[in-house]
Chain A
Amino acid sequence: MHDKIISLDNATKRFSLPEGGKINALDAIDLEVSRNEFLTLLGPSGCGKTTLLHVISGFVQLDEGQILIDGVDMGETPPHNRPVNTVFQNYALFPHMSVGENVGYALEIAHTPKPERIKRVGEALELVGLGGYADRMPRQLSGGQQQRVALARAIIARPKLLLLDEPLSALDRNLRQSMQIELKNLQAELGISFIFVTHDQEEALTMSNRVAVLNGGVIQQIDTPLNTYNYPANSFVASFVGASNLFEGKASRDGERIHIATEHNEVIEARARKDQHINGGKVTAMLRPEQFSLADGDENRAEIDVTIDQIVFLGSAYELLGKTTGGSEIKAIISAARQSRLAEVERTKTARLSYDPNAVHLIPGTGDVQ
């Protein structure tokens, strides 16, 4: 037993493009997944998520670097000998086989005796809520049901690692949320590691032990959902995971206080954190929309004047879209409980917003995405 179910070291994959040139689909990826971990790969379309899964399952060969599964080098191992199973992005159900035959395929290949096969197919279908569907053909199922069949087919052989390529993308919101919970339970129940691909950041935050944010074939950050949201490593992560207000500027330090002066002449106040060494130079300050509130003269909060362009009703809250006097875009979320103040904002089209300097997260360097 190895405590890392998978480790990628400097994994690099380049594709040659038909129009000439090459694209780094994966660029020096280092990644480790522990036993029983739920890791989410999050990133925009085309950032290399599927390629990374295919490297692990063996359909794509690395140009450089190394891949170990359960401590064993997989460089020469063909896909059918790797202890991983995949839920494919397009389901890839076998159209000429019934649901039951699809789900039992791995067992049939492994020459599992028929009675046991039938029993386990039934259990797997039950697990994904499709008991009694064994005799249907895949084309007689809805998109969401097909996805669940693909899931049942991938877990039946109890792989060490399950790769899921956007397995919930075809589901409506309700089914999606219940499947998210089911997947989490399933993972706990089966005790196998999951690598789960999504480009839905909310899904990533709710489900995973850790999130790996990918962009342009490069891992931007691997961290817990909480840290990824609160302490993004760079401005790409800050804007991709959740909404954010970013202020790029020069920092100057005065004891605990840090002031960031932007080129729009705003000054954002922040407090130094012990683990961060910011003394000066370029930084990007991040404030989440929900960290703003309407100013009420609290000494401990910093304030900023904003002209409001638009107020959007979200249900439990209002979203204010506007600009600072210097011209930076601002997005703030204000609780709907503050009706009277909001009415005033609506009338005057201006607002004084406040924020807690302790909550300002500072990202060293400029806003350039790596």
Chain B
Amino acid sequence: MNWLKRLGGGSLTLYTILFFAFIYAPIAVIVVYSFNSDPVNMMKWSGFTFDWYKQIFGFTNASSEAALYIESTDQLLAAIKNSFIVAAFTTTIATLIGTSTALAIYRYNFFGKRFYRVLMFTPMLMPDIVLGIALLIFFVGIGMPLGIGSIIIGHCTFLISYVFIVVSTRLAGMDRTLENASADLGANEWATFRKVVLPQVMPGVIGGALLAFIISMDDLVITYFISGVGTQTLPLFIFGMLRRGIKPEVNAIAVMMLLFSFTIAAVGLYLRSRKK
């Protein structure tokens, strides 16, 4: 029976390797080809270069062959800046509203509470296209100019749900007698909230905020509808580049976005492990 066991173990290992290869191979390809010097055919390896990274940051000299292919660096930087502004505002607003809504629903009983909870879930389940069109019609309808403001509001509509759900899950696992214990030891409601409830939901709040930040940075479909003509975010910018043919800088940008996401996730994990 030993060989059978070995076969079983071997095929499991093989399966695991294939599984991860399936998930990570495309990403690895992007990372590798972001250093490929061939400006025309991305899939043909013709030498190692940092050119694409240089170009993104505008360090390249204009006479290089690659310069023919770059978009305006200023445009790219503006798009990145917009994405950060949107993500920062959206994350703050969505975290505040999502968290306080979750706390209110946890704490108080009121008429229509269940219905309200369902309402909080729906934006997350709504198809992006539908939400995007609806928001566009809404903004145009009320005469609001499209731009950073409309993108922030648009992102908040569904990111509040994400934060709400993450924080609610955290609250659902909380022991209510802890609040009684705190009151029993002399703490009024505010002190109990600050010292007992808040520290315990904090990991949920941070998790929700990070999730909101990443989704906001990453959103394409909804942003596409409500960004107007003048404003670009990073995903919109990349999408625009792709429409005019796949350029090698896209790889470099993708690699940097990847690094950025990893960093955020790592920070999140670090904060969580420190909480415990």
Partner-B contacts on A (CB < 8 A): 57-59, 78-81, 84-86, 88, 90, 92-96, 105-106, 109-110, 153-154, 157
Q: 16 A-B pairs, CB-CB below 8 angstroms?
A: A78-B188, A79-B184, A85-B184, A85-B185, A88-B177, A93-B181, A94-B178, A94-B182, A94-B196, A96-B200, A105-B182, A105-B185, A109-B186, A109-B187, A109-B191, A154-B185
Which residues of B lie under 8 Å from residue A109 when comparing CB positions? 185-187, 191, 195
Q: Do A92 and B188 touch (CB < 8 A)? A: no
Q: Kindly state whether residue B183 has any CB partner on chain A within 8 Å.
A: yes
Which residues of A lie under 8 Å from residue B178 when comparing CB positions? 92, 94-95
Q: Do A153 and B180 touch (CB < 8 A)? A: no
Q: Do B183 and A88 touch (CB < 8 A)? A: no
173-204 of chain B: CB within 8 A of chain A: 175, 177-178, 180-188, 191, 195-196, 199-200
Specify which of B184, B186, B199 lies most central, judged by the most chain A CB atoms within 10 Å of its CB: B184
Q: Do A95 and B200 touch (CB < 8 A)? A: yes
Q: State which of B175, B177, B183, B200 has its C-beta within 8 Å of the C-beta of A79.
A: B183
A96–B182 Cα distance when bound, in Å, is: 13
Q: State which of B182, B186, B199, B200 has its C-beta within 8 Å of the C-beta of A110.
A: B186
Which residues of B lie under 8 Å from residue A157 when comparing CB positions? 185-186
A95–B181 Cα distance when bound, in Å, is: 12
**Smallest Cβ distance from B17 to chain A, in angstroms?**
37
Q: Do B180 and A59 touch (CB < 8 A)? A: yes
Q: Which residue of chain A has its CB nearest to the CB of B187?
A: A109
Which residues of B lie under 8 Å from residue A92 when comparing CB positions? 175, 177-178, 180-181
A244–B163 Cα distance when bound, in Å, is: 61
Specify which of A58, A59, A80 lies most central, judged by the most chain B CB atoms within 10 Å of its CB: A80
Closest CB pairs A-B (n = 5): A92-B181, A106-B185, A79-B183, A92-B177, A80-B183
Which residues of A lie under 8 Å from residue B195 when comparing CB positions? 105, 109
Which residues of B lie under 8 Å from residue A79 when comparing CB positions? 180, 183-184
| Apart from A85-B185, A94-B181, A105-B182, 18 more pairs, CB < 8 Å | A59-B180, A79-B180, A79-B183, A80-B184, A80-B187, A80-B188, A84-B184, A88-B180, A88-B181, A92-B175, A93-B181, A95-B178, A96-B199, A96-B200, A106-B185, A106-B186, A109-B185, A157-B185
A20–B178 Cα distance when bound, in Å, is: 29
Q: Which residue of chain A has its CB nearest to the CB of B176?
A: A92
Known: A94-B196, A95-B200. A86 touches B181 (CB 8 A): yes
A109–B200 Cα distance when bound, in Å, is: 18
A267–B199 Cα distance when bound, in Å, is: 69
Q: Which residue of chain B has its CB nearest to the CB of A85?
A: B184
Q: Which residue of chain B has its CB nearest to the CB of A92?
A: B181
A57–B185 Cα distance when bound, in Å, is: 10
A105–B181 Cα distance when bound, in Å, is: 10
Q: Which residue of chain B has its CB nearest to the CB of A89?
A: B177
Which residues of A lie under 8 Å from residue B275 when comparing CB positions? 96
Which residues of B lie under 8 Å from residue A59 when comparing CB positions? 180, 183
Q: Do B186 and A90 touch (CB < 8 A)? A: no
Specify which of A79, A86, A106, A153 lies most central, judged by the most chain B CB atoms within 10 Å of its CB: A79
Which residues of A lie under 8 Å from residue B177 when comparing CB positions? 88, 90, 92
